[in-house]
Chain A
Amino acid sequence: GESVGLHLPTLSVQEGDNSIINCAYSNSASDYFIWYKQESGKGPQFIIDIRSNMDKRQGQRVTVLLNKTVKHLSLQIAATQPGDSAVYFCAENPYNFNKFYFGSGTKLNVKP
């Protein structure tokens, strides 16, 4: 929503640069993770997911890295574009039940 971006950590990057958004998750039992993108006035949109048996997964212009040792997740966006400007959330899922826990998000601001 419109006010989602308030009070959030903000990452500002130049168009064409690579972006790295980080997320620390809390439950060592979590075995499935999703990154969502939320543009102003819209609901969250799936970007990429990863299961705990993987360290890395690549999509189109995006890569997710998972470090289970330190419970850290990152989203890398290559050649960042103005259309990438949004709030990005990670979500963790422990025990494979259909219940996710969401981070508070990072606002990505792409400067033209």
Chain B
Amino acid sequence: DVKVTQSSRYLVKRTGEKVFLECVQDMDHENMFWYRQDPGLGLRLIYFSYDVKMKEKGDIPEGYSVSREKKERFSLILESASTNQTSMYLCASSLGGLAGQQYFGPGTRLTVT
């Protein structure tokens, strides 16, 4: 079974702090994704990566950056956390090639105070 793990289930940070969310997948997937999920808005894509050191902006990249130094790991960075970044953050991975099923991690609920 594919396993996608996220470093924290719950995180509380203060406004202005730099925040790192880590995601690791164990199935050698080429693609990795970061979404945020807010009530009534569904999942919105922040960034994705289709290879090591490669990244593409999603629909809401402002205020975020990402890092992919190794194939299995994809990090989401909030350079200076703000209260409007309080959300559920979901990481996913998928095989390369044609679009296919994405496997999701359990999510990190981030609260910025």
Residues of A within 8 A of B (CB): 1-4, 6-8, 32, 34, 36, 41-46, 49, 89, 91, 93, 96-100, 102-105
Interface secondary structure of A, over-half rule: loop
Whether the pair B43, A1 counts as a contact (CB closer than 8 A) is: no
The interface of chain B, by Cβ under 8 A from chain A, is: 4, 31, 33, 35, 37, 39-45, 48, 50, 58, 88, 90, 92, 94, 96, 98-107, 109
Complex contacts, B45 vs chain A, CB 8 Å: 99-100
Q: Which residues of A contact B50 (CB under 8 A)?
A: 98
Main secondary structure of the interface of B (DSSP, over half): strand
| Cross-chain pairs A/B with CB under 8 angstroms, 19 sampled | A1-B107, A6-B39, A8-B39, A36-B104, A43-B4, A43-B106, A44-B104, A46-B101, A89-B43, A91-B43, A93-B99, A96-B99, A98-B33, A99-B48, A99-B99, A102-B42, A102-B43, A103-B42, A104-B41
Q: Say whether, besides A43-B90, A43-B106, A97 and B99 are in contact (CB < 8 Å).
A: yes
Known: A1-B107, A49-B101. A99 touches B43 (CB 8 A): no
Chain B residues closer than 8 Å to A42, beta-carbon distance:
106-107
- CB-CB nearest in chain B for A49: B101
Closest 8 CB pairs of A and B: A43-B104, A1-B88, A7-B40, A102-B43, A104-B42, A102-B42, A6-B39, A93-B99
CA distance A42 to B104 in the complex (A): 9
* Contact partners of A32 in chain B: CB under 8 A: 99
Nearest-Cβ distance from residue B11 to partner chain A, whole angstroms: 13
State the CA gap A97–B45 with chains docked (Å).
13
In the assembled complex, the Cα of A100 lies from the Cα of B98 at a distance in Å of 12
Say whether B37 contacts A1, CB under 8 Å: yes
Contacts of B43 in A (CB 8 A): 44, 89, 91, 102
